[in-house]
Structure 1
């Protein structure tokens, strides 16, 4: 089941949520924060839905009303991070940047979130790779594809490039880089720097201009 992006920033013209909806969101956030705290403290596998309910001080059934499976917390973790980056870039009007710089800003913000919360990233992204749909979930691909499509409309990306394939390549590059980064302690390399370098390879290619 697709988990709603509770971290999304509501539209400015959206109606204010009613009291019941506000209460539901408060419980949802409380459950999410309890789960993430437990995952970091004792691991994803070791944490039960009962423990999440106890930590959030709600009935066990309430957890399942919001998250039908434990992996739902992992999906929401990823969704909230993407929403946070989108909000940051929206405030900076990143949509006005050239497509290469816009992609760089997006990946850099994602990387900086990981660096700022390395313990959380190590546990939750590792669990997402093992138990969730990290490499099958198209959400990040879709976001990056939208940026590539906008670049094509502006004439900044060659028209023969498949924008969806570019989005898939960029997302795969991001995930593989972060997964390598979380495997060792201390961090084996500068994450944002490595993401920058990987993006350069994608944008510029690997062949010299004189290569056949």
Structure 2
């Protein structure tokens, strides 16, 4: 995600441009060489900045990945917020979100696979904010409860985390196999399985859709 340089002073704009060049170079290096093989030096060279500058902006290699993933989380947040604002049913909301995420993966398979593998190799899974996206899934569950679709006693935060875990599991398995088809079907099935168990039953005992 490119910085909004129009709201910055000259010094801040310069720093933002350098940072973005380094992030772009790191993204390319992770795709072309893999996270483990990519180095600070080659990222700095590709960004056409001094190596000491690269270390000043990103002291550790995983810091590049954290910045790249932060951009992706911002995209996910924007997508989820837009879909939640459309006030669809809980099932339609989550299915629509998963289909949009899958479409991004399908459009950028090499990048997505590279970043997924890098995430597992770098240890950023242990970052405390890595799972913040689960709050958006939890918000969808709360909206479903408010509409009477989801049982009121259900812990929305816990279900949000479960959906996040399922989402990541599907993506990591997909990323491990270069020949795997689109993850869309598995993502939608995961949503169906999770939500089916927490929906309010109809009068005839069937869960509402």
Shorter-normalised TM range = 0.7 to 0.9
Q: Give the secondary-structure state (helix, strand or coil) at the position aligned to 2:144.
A: helix
Distance 2:80 2:135 in 1: 16
| TM-fit CA distance, 1:38 | 0.9
8 Å CA contact 1:8–1:84 kept in 2: the answer is no
| TM-fit CA distance, 1:156 | 3.1
Moved more, 55-64 or 37-46: 55-64
**Residue 132 (structure 2) aligned to one of 128, 139, 146:** 139
| TM-fit CA distance, 1:92 | 6.3
**Residue 171 (structure 1) aligned to one of 164, 171, 177:** 164
Query: What's 2:13 paired with?
Result: 22
Query: What's 2:76 paired with?
Result: 85
Q: Deviations over 1:61-83 (max 9, x none)?
A: 22233223211222222221222
8 Å CA contact 2:83–2:93 kept in 1: the answer is no
Q: Give the secondary-structure state (helix, strand or coil) at the position aligned to 2:16.
A: helix
Query: Counterparts of 1:47-66 in structure 2 under 5 Å?
Result: 47-66=38-57
TM-score normalized with structure 1 length: 0.80
Distance 1:118 1:77 in 2: 16
Distance 1:8 1:52 in 2: 18
When residues 92 and 156 of structure 1 are mapped into structure 2, their CA distance, relative to the original with a 3 A threshold, is: closer
8 Å CA contact 1:148–1:163 kept in 2: the answer is yes
Q: Deviations over 1:111-163 (max 9, x none)?
A: 22112111111121112012222366222222322332333344332221111
Query: What's 1:4 paired with?
Result: none
RMSD of aligned alpha carbons: 2.7
TM-score normalized with structure 2 length: 0.81
Distance 2:49 2:11 in 1: 17
| TM-fit CA distance, 1:18 | 2.6
| TM-fit CA distance, 1:94 | 4.1
Distance 2:168 2:100 in 1: 14
When residues 92 and 152 of structure 1 are mapped into structure 2, their CA distance, relative to the original with a 3 A threshold, is: closer
Residues paired across the two proteins, number: 198
Distance 1:171 1:89 in 2: 13
Q: Which runs of 5+ in 1 are unaligned?
A: 1-6
8 Å CA contact 2:62–2:122 kept in 1: the answer is yes
8 Å CA contact 1:31–1:52 kept in 2: the answer is yes
